[in-house]
Structure 1
Amino acid sequence: MKTRQLPRFEPVGVDEGRVLWKKYRGNVDVERMLLELAQARQTIEEIGRYFDSVRRVWEEENLGQLVAMEKIRLLLSEQHLRYRALAGLKPPPPDKDPDEPEPALVD
């Protein structure tokens, strides 16, 4: 199943979400939408923690690099950086141990 691509948009920042919460307090639909946004962000963080655990074990077992795991890592990293920017936090320091590139396949 292919997901429909969303149009580009300015994301709702943490401070903006708080303003909307106060401004529309009592509007059940807006409150529910803002809670859904907060819950989705918490879920992404939790998935990221589970992913880190799986990745550590995968690397300890020296099982190489899965394309799907790498794509998930990149998606989670993008969401983490986006959230930090929305929260007004400084970006994390560069990774001291960048991932090794996958070896070229030999035919």
Structure 2
Amino acid sequence: MARKLPRFEAVGIREGRTFWRKYRGNADVERMLLEIAQAREVMQQIGDYFDCLHKVWVEENLGQLVALEKIRLLLNEQALRQRVLAGLKPPPRKGEPDDRNGPDEPETEVIG
């Protein structure tokens, strides 16, 4: 089993963009930043596939599969982490009003 990573402060969207401008031309830094962006896109795709799989699983009344539940929890954790890194408020809980957008702010799309 792989060793756990030490705790660290994740690179946010703005910070990544700042690094991109600051270290433009440094192939190693550019490659690392692209790797982070690509990994985040893959996590989003995995989340989308999971949603499809979970929907069918529930519709077929196949019970609760522990592996699916663990994947769901990991994906939720990553989605929340992405929202925090992007500076977005978390989505409202069921039954709560959606006040993420102020009266003068445009609608934001929440994925996940």
TM-score (norm 1): 0.87
Give identity over the alignment, percent: 68
Equivalent residue number for residue 109 of structure 2: none
Aligned-residue Cα RMSD (Å) equals: 0.8
Q: Which has the higher contact order (CA 8 A, sep 6+)?
A: 1
Q: What's the CA shift string for 1:64-103, capped at 9, x where partnerless?
A: 111100000000000000000000011011146xxxxxxx
Residues 73 and 95 of structure 1, relative CA distance in 2, 3 Å threshold: farther
Structure 2 unaligned regions, length at least 5: 96-112
- Distance in structure 2 (CA, Å) of the matches to 1:23 and 1:82: 24
- Distance in structure 1 (CA, Å) of the matches to 2:70 and 2:94: 17
- Distance in structure 2 (CA, Å) of the matches to 1:44 and 1:15: 19
Structure 1 unaligned regions, length at least 5: 97-107
Is 1:38 the counterpart of 2:27 in the alignment? no
Runs of 4 or more off by more than 6 Å in structure 1? none
- Distance in structure 2 (CA, Å) of the matches to 1:72 and 1:95: 21
Aligned residues: 95
Letter in 2 for 1:72: I
Residues 48 and 24 of structure 1, relative CA distance in 2, 3 Å threshold: same
